[in-house]
Chains A and B, each alone.
Chain A
């Protein structure tokens, strides 16, 4: 997804979790927001896309934590693919 508010506006992130208490998404880009220090963001401040990182999703479903380089390479693949309609 893409941030649509705040300092990180326009930046791509991967959703790595949900903060059920705060109704927020837990986001990581493998760089400024690493997997060890993810960003929590209100769901209304993000723009969903139709792009999908199957490998990251499968790791999360297996209970594994993706590395920052895996997140970065996934996002590089997606951001090369511009926005997606």
Chain B
């Protein structure tokens, strides 16, 4: 959406703040032995206590508050009771919040205890890819400018960007125009306008970019079994830069 009033900005900022606080809170619970379902319950309780509503719950039939994707799971991992975090895992947590009709969306990949050097690098590269994307954003740049920055950096580090899923506009709906792929060519695609709200979300695989969906119909995994990381911020496009809305 394109923000048209201060009130709209305040509401979407509130939704995004709840997203950021939820991820911050969950960070303390991520340790070996904890189940994904437990994280989901904590997140749901917190979001409701702040006056928000879990945006993913019921979205096209999705049954939970969080997406909890472990190791080779890319996105949309179901927070099952049987999904127990183990030392050395990496876990991507994606959370969406609706607050008074406005949406915020954010994700973070956390290490569980001590992780391998490769996993550490994957997390660092994916986070930096998001930071680079955000620093590229201002009114007048194109969607291709964002995608090319992410793709070039990630590939220079020996990893790949997922093609089948993209960032998106956000605001009055969870997914709005435009789509923001994590690859592309400079100068191509729709031009960003001041006031646009976007969810930028690099999904980076340690191996090939190809993904597939498990039989549960949701969980997206890397086809080659390699690790995957995911970071996401909801941002506001300003004249000279981007304002990150999903930060504490």
Contacts and interface: CB of A to CB of B under 8 A. Distances in A.
A35 to B, nearest CB: 20
A69 interface: no
A50 B175 contact: yes
Contacts of A48: 168-169, 173, 175-177, 179
A20 interface: no
A50 B177 contact: no
Interface stretch (B20-28, B57-65, B235-243): B57-65
B61 A51 contact: no
Interface in B77-117: 94, 96
Interface residues of B, number: 31
Interface residues of A, number: 18
Nearest to B168: A50
A71 B166 CA distance: 18
Contacts of A83: 59-62
A85 B94 contact: yes
Contact of A52 (B62, B164, B169, B174): B164
Nearest to A49: B175
B173 A80 contact: no
